[in-house]
Amino acid sequence: MQDALMNALTQMAWPAALAIAWVFGEVANRWLSLPRISAYGIAGFAMASSQGGFLGDPSGEPVARLADFAFTLILFEMGYRVNLQWLRHNRWLGATSVIEATGTFAAVFLVAQAFAVPQTPALLLAALAMSTSPAAVLRVANDTHSAGQVTERVLHLTAFNSILAVIAFKAVIGYWVLESAGSVYQAIWHSLVVLIVSGCIGALFGVAVPGLLRLTRNPDHNPTVAFAIAALLLTALTHTLNFSPLLAALTFGMVARHRRIVLTQAQRNFGVLGDLLTVLLFVFVAASLEWRHVTTGIWLALAVIAARLVVKTAATTLLARPSGTGWRKGWLTGLAMMPMSVFVILLLEQTRHLHSGMLDDVAGIAAIVLLLEIIGPIVTQQALRLAGETQRREDR
Amino acid sequence: MALESFKAGSALTMGVELELQLVNPTDFDLTPTASDMLDLLARKPFPGDVKPEITDSMIEISTDIHTRHDEMLAQLRRIRDALVAAGDRLNVGLCGGGTHPFQHWPERRIFAKPRFKELSGLYGYLAKQFTVFGQHVHIGCASADEGLYLLHALNRYLPHFIALSASSPFSQGVDTLFDSARLNSVFAFPLSGRAPFLLDWADFESTYFSKMEKTGVVKSMKDFYWDIRPKPEYGTIELRVCDTPLTVERAAALAAYLQALCRMLLERNEPPPREDDYLVYNYNRFQACRFGLDGFLVHPQSNETLSIREDILLTLRRLTPHALALGSEAALDEIQFVAAGAGNHASLLRHTYAGEGSTQSMVAEAMIQFRKPRAT
């Protein structure tokens, strides 16, 4: 009897958590002007069992697959908004991207060394810190109807630093596999092969899906559903084969955009489906964290966050004028690139088959994720607002 | 504020203003980046003039005063190249076209400048719906009275300009069946339409403008949205019915067509304009907006029904000596090419839609047309 009751409660846990997080998100957005995703994060963290809540550790659970899917949708949209032509016309933008990403890697590695973090975790931490969370940036930009130079630059730089972060992360994993297992074959498999095959799968989808849509062309048909189903398929496929869904989804979006076969507007955020999955995604990420991990790495976390912020804003500010915008907008671009939580957690989650305790091993990461999950979107929202690119309420 | 005195200058000079769309190359919607574009353009000398317009997804460029078509075209091309280069650096697409085919007007933002905010407060949603893009052509006049004469003598030729320039077949995502849907937005304003029939500047000033000013309805000529209006501070009349064409070549040709037409009208070989000419004015204008070159107009003095296309081709023949004198044969060739075969840009955009099946593809095509350097 008690078992049955417990079972029923467990079944209820995630739907109830989503409902609570959503209500909290609306309230916090209405009364505190807090970005909804920050509120979902706070709710998720509070409801996790490690904090005495009712949500069990979600990593490895089926809900993790759903979170992967949610993130794939976001990365696809992110990739779809990247215009590679822009890099050709504005080389300084490409330079900004490389400098801010590699600069962050170097700075964070040095900080970790100063905190006596062993070499491999320090390298992993540095690779993770390169990335800006596409989920946070895209959600905030879409929620505030933001448009303009800062928005465009943040989206592009985020897509690029996410790709660079996956590459760096996989390279470190390869190095780590080589060191621990001593197998060159395995090391190459887990880094180079994974990267190349993931990219190829994404590109294949990017060619095939628009082609299919072209074939079944129906002028009234909205391609959103087709892209969502393809994203679902892509998540399942890359996950089963242990490739990188992140890289595949970004490539899928970018290639689909540049194939430009179907010039129809897919719904922003994948409409209601995207909104629903976003609640799940941000609750999931925060629920993966444990208070004890957060407290142990807090000083390292603060130092990493500061170093990361300084390097990113310095790069975007110094290269603002050559890349065609002003100092102020450059600075705001760097500031808006603060979030990094979702990307990190899912990258770690997807590396579970190699090593499941990464959150314990990479010191400081839990604290960084928690702080930036809450603060990151607020900073992004303020930066876009200061840039004058968000839709003012009276304008709607 | 009294009406400014008419700054008479040299006759038959011309100047062009083009309102252009700023679009996002990802989703092809309008994008509020006028201030970013203006900031970047301000770093280098601009080969003309560029300024913001009422919503911040549009910018307006203008040329210097020209007497020759080839010089006007050369400047327009330099302006176009500078704009395209700036847009490329900022990931902003530029294009012509009288309307954006699918923009959602409630999303437009009013450019932060007092006059625009004031207009938005007065006109409400009309101000945002006024996110339409026109070409204005100024023609210099030797005197104010000559300006008024030209303004009214042009009434019967107005449909030509609407039909030739029309490039706004779609609005808010649907085919309006009009070639120029843009003008329907302009007609919504209370002070749009035709100028009062007065041929004497002193009369215009004392019996019309000062009375209107006393009513408090207008403060300056800027408040009139007439199809053709005098611009006393420039010493010009300003034709405002053209949609912004998709190419600067077409824009320069339209200006030169007007210039040649004015030269012909100033010979005063045609019967002088009368108030009664305006009986058929709105009907003719509707025909040109709705059907473009395939429309029919009623000649205001002979009451004959004429095909707009045929009427343009006939007019071109009468303009040949004037084009020769002004050095604008190339421009009239372009007009001939449009009227005799190629059709206006509204039909080009409809054709794109028929082939590609999406309104986004129309914007993509308009961006290609705008940046493509053409040999002619």
- Asked whether residue B374 carries a pLDDT value surpassing 70, the answer given is no
Kindly state the average pLDDT of the residues B12-35: 93
Token pair of B167, please? 């490039």
Interchain CB distance below 8 Å, A219 and B358: yes
| B284 touches B298 (CB < 8 A) | yes
B110 CB near a chain A CB, below 8 Å? yes
Shortest alpha-carbon distance between residue A89 and chain B (Å): 6
Kindly state the average pLDDT of the residues B270-285: 94
Token pair of A341, please? 């939580």
- Asked whether residue A395 carries a pLDDT value surpassing 60, the answer given is no
Higher local confidence (pLDDT), B119 or B256: B256
Q: How many CB atoms lie within 10 A of CB B313?
A: 15
Stated pTM of the model: 0.90
Shortest alpha-carbon distance between residue B117 and chain A (Å): 11
- The DSSP bridge pattern shows strands B58-62 and B49-52 to be antiparallel
Q: Which residues, in sequence order, are bridge partners of residue B192?
A: B225
Name the residue type at position A60. Answer: G
- The DSSP bridge pattern shows strands B225-226 and B192-193 to be parallel
Characterise A242 by phi-psi region: left (phi > 0), alpha (psi -120 to 50), beta (else).
left
Shortest alpha-carbon distance between residue A88 and chain B (Å): 9
A147 CB near a chain B CB, below 8 Å? yes
- Asked whether residue B39 carries a pLDDT value surpassing 80, the answer given is yes
Query: What is residue A274's predicted lDDT score, i.e. its pLDDT?
Result: 87
Shortest alpha-carbon distance between residue A86 and chain B (Å): 6
Quickly name the fold that domain B14-371 has: Creatine Kinase; Chain A, domain 2 (3.30.590)
Query: What is residue A364's predicted lDDT score, i.e. its pLDDT?
Result: 81
Query: What is residue A353's predicted lDDT score, i.e. its pLDDT?
Result: 66
Kindly state the average pLDDT of the residues A301-325: 96
Interchain CB distance below 8 Å, B89 and A326: no
- The DSSP bridge pattern shows strands B236-243 and B134-140 to be antiparallel
Query: What is residue A218's predicted lDDT score, i.e. its pLDDT?
Result: 64
- Asked whether residue B293 carries a pLDDT value surpassing 60, the answer given is yes
Burial class from Cβ neighbours inside 10 Å (0-12, 13-18, 19+) for residue A116 reads exposed
- Asked whether residue B1 carries a pLDDT value surpassing 60, the answer given is no
Ranking A292-296, A302-306, B63-67, B106-110 by mean pLDDT, the lowest is B106-110
Chain A residues whose beta carbon lies within 8 Å of the beta carbon of residue B39: 325-326
A146 CB near a chain B CB, below 8 Å? no
* B36 pLDDT tier (thresholds 50, 70, 90): very high
Give the whole-angstrom CA distance, residue A217 versus residue B194: 46
A239 CB near a chain B CB, below 8 Å? no
Q: How many CB atoms lie within 10 A of CB A297?
A: 21
Shortest alpha-carbon distance between residue A141 and chain B (Å): 14
A322 CB near a chain B CB, below 8 Å? no
A258 CB near a chain B CB, below 8 Å? no
Shortest alpha-carbon distance between residue B47 and chain A (Å): 19
B:197-236 residues touching chain A, CB 8 A cutoff? none
- The DSSP bridge pattern shows strands B296-298 and B236-243 to be unpaired
Phi, psi of A320 (to 5 degrees): -65, -50
Kindly state the average pLDDT of the residues B324-348: 95
Higher local confidence (pLDDT), A334 or B376: A334
Average pLDDT value over all residues in chain A: 87
- Asked whether residue B118 carries a pLDDT value surpassing 90, the answer given is no
Q: What is the DSSP letter of B185?
A: H
Interchain CB distance below 8 Å, A148 and B36: yes
Kindly state the average pLDDT of the residues A298-324: 95
Kindly state the average pLDDT of the residues B105-123: 74
When divided into structural domains, chain A yields a total of: 1
Interchain CB distance below 8 Å, B110 and A263: no
- Asked whether residue A354 carries a pLDDT value surpassing 70, the answer given is no
Give the whole-angstrom CA distance, residue B88 versus residue A54: 52
- Asked whether residue A236 carries a pLDDT value surpassing 70, the answer given is yes
Interchain CB distance below 8 Å, A148 and B33: yes
| B141 touches B9 (CB < 8 A) | yes
- Asked whether residue A361 carries a pLDDT value surpassing 80, the answer given is no
Kindly state the average pLDDT of the residues A268-273: 81
CA distances from A129 to A120, B108, B217 (A): 14, 37, 61
Chain B residues whose beta carbon lies within 8 Å of the beta carbon of residue A265: 27-29, 360
How does pLDDT run across A325-350, given as a tens digit for each residue? 999 999 999 999 999 987 887 777 77
Name the residue type at position A368. Answer: I
Query: What is residue A357's predicted lDDT score, i.e. its pLDDT?
Result: 62
- Asked whether residue B48 carries a pLDDT value surpassing 80, the answer given is yes
Of B113, B100, B79, the closest CA to residue B24 belongs to: B100
A393 CB near a chain B CB, below 8 Å? no
CA distances from A174 to A103, A109, A177, A186 (A): 21, 18, 5, 8
* A1 pLDDT tier (thresholds 50, 70, 90): low
Burial class from Cβ neighbours inside 10 Å (0-12, 13-18, 19+) for residue A185 reads exposed
Q: Which of A152, A215, A218, A390 to mutate to test the interface with B (most CBs of B within 10 A)?
A: A152
Interchain CB distance below 8 Å, B358 and A264: yes
Handedness of CA B162, B165, B171, B176 (dihedral sign): positive
Token pair of A371, please? 């702080």
- Asked whether residue B26 carries a pLDDT value surpassing 60, the answer given is yes
A:360-389 residues touching chain B, CB 8 A cutoff? 388-389
Q: Residue for token digits 């959503």? A: A22
Higher local confidence (pLDDT), B160 or A274: B160
B111 CB near a chain A CB, below 8 Å? no
| A285 touches A342 (CB < 8 A) | yes
Query: What is residue B129's predicted lDDT score, i.e. its pLDDT?
Result: 72
Chain A residues whose beta carbon lies within 8 Å of the beta carbon of residue B52: none
**Angle at which helices A91-114 and A149-181 pack, to 10 degrees?**
50
Q: What is the CATH number of the domain that holds A374?
A: 1.20.1530.20
* A396 pLDDT tier (thresholds 50, 70, 90): very low
Q: How many CB atoms lie within 10 A of CB B90?
A: 25
Q: Which of A96, A263, A323, A333 to mutate to test the interface with B (most CBs of B within 10 A)?
A: A263
Most confident residue range from A72-81, A210-219, B29-38, B251-260: B251-260
Interchain CB distance below 8 Å, A326 and B39: yes
Q: Which of B24, B28, B36 to mutate to test the interface with A (most CBs of A within 10 A)?
A: B36
How does pLDDT run across A200-227, given as a tens digit for each residue? 999 999 999 888 887 876 655 677 888 8
B131 CB near a chain A CB, below 8 Å? no
Ranking A112-126, A216-230, B161-175 by mean pLDDT, the lowest is A216-230
The torsion angle over the Cα atoms of residues A236, A240, A244 and A249, rounded to 10 degrees, is -20
- Name every residue whose Cβ is closer than 8 Å to that of residue A229 and which is 6 or more positions away in sequence: none
- Asked whether residue A69 carries a pLDDT value surpassing 60, the answer given is yes
CA distances from B34 to A150, A182, B57 (A): 14, 57, 6
Chain A residues whose beta carbon lies within 8 Å of the beta carbon of residue B35: 388
How does pLDDT run across B171-183, given as a tens digit for each residue? 988 899 999 999 9
Q: How many CB atoms lie within 10 A of CB A229?
A: 11
- Burial per residue of B171-199, b for 16 or more beta-carbon CB atoms within 10 angstroms, e otherwise: beeeebebbbbbbbbbeeeeeebbbebbb
Interchain CB distance below 8 Å, B356 and A263: yes
What distance lies between CA B264 and its chain's CA centroid? 21
Q: Which residues, in sequence order, are bridge partners of residue B168?
A: B180
B52 CB near a chain A CB, below 8 Å? no
Give the whole-angstrom CA distance, residue B99 versus residue B167: 7
Size of interface A-B (CB pairs under 8 A): 68
Q: What does the radius of gyration of chain A's CA atoms come to, in whole angstroms? A: 20
SS (H, E, C) A229-240: HHHHHHHHHHHH
Query: What is residue A352's predicted lDDT score, i.e. its pLDDT?
Result: 65
Interchain CB distance below 8 Å, A395 and B109: yes
B27 CB near a chain A CB, below 8 Å? yes
Query: What is residue B302's predicted lDDT score, i.e. its pLDDT?
Result: 92
Characterise A182 by phi-psi region: left (phi > 0), alpha (psi -120 to 50), beta (else).
left
B:320-359 residues touching chain A, CB 8 A cutoff? 356-358
Query: What is residue A262's predicted lDDT score, i.e. its pLDDT?
Result: 53
CA distances from B256 to B48, B251, B261 (A): 18, 9, 8
* A392 pLDDT tier (thresholds 50, 70, 90): low
Higher local confidence (pLDDT), B311 or A53: B311
- Asked whether residue A356 carries a pLDDT value surpassing 80, the answer given is no
Give the whole-angstrom CA distance, residue B193 versus residue B191: 7
- Asked whether residue B115 carries a pLDDT value surpassing 80, the answer given is no
Q: Which residues, in sequence order, are bridge partners of residue B20?
A: B59
| A137 touches A99 (CB < 8 A) | no
Interchain CB distance below 8 Å, B25 and A219: no
* B375 pLDDT tier (thresholds 50, 70, 90): very low
A152 CB near a chain B CB, below 8 Å? yes
Kindly state the average pLDDT of the residues B242-252: 97
A:262-291 residues touching chain B, CB 8 A cutoff? 262-265
User: At B134, is the secondary structure helix, strand, or coil?
Assistant: strand
Q: How many CB atoms lie within 10 A of CB A395?
A: 15
The residue segments making up the domain with residue A150 are 2-395
Interchain CB distance below 8 Å, B109 and A83: no
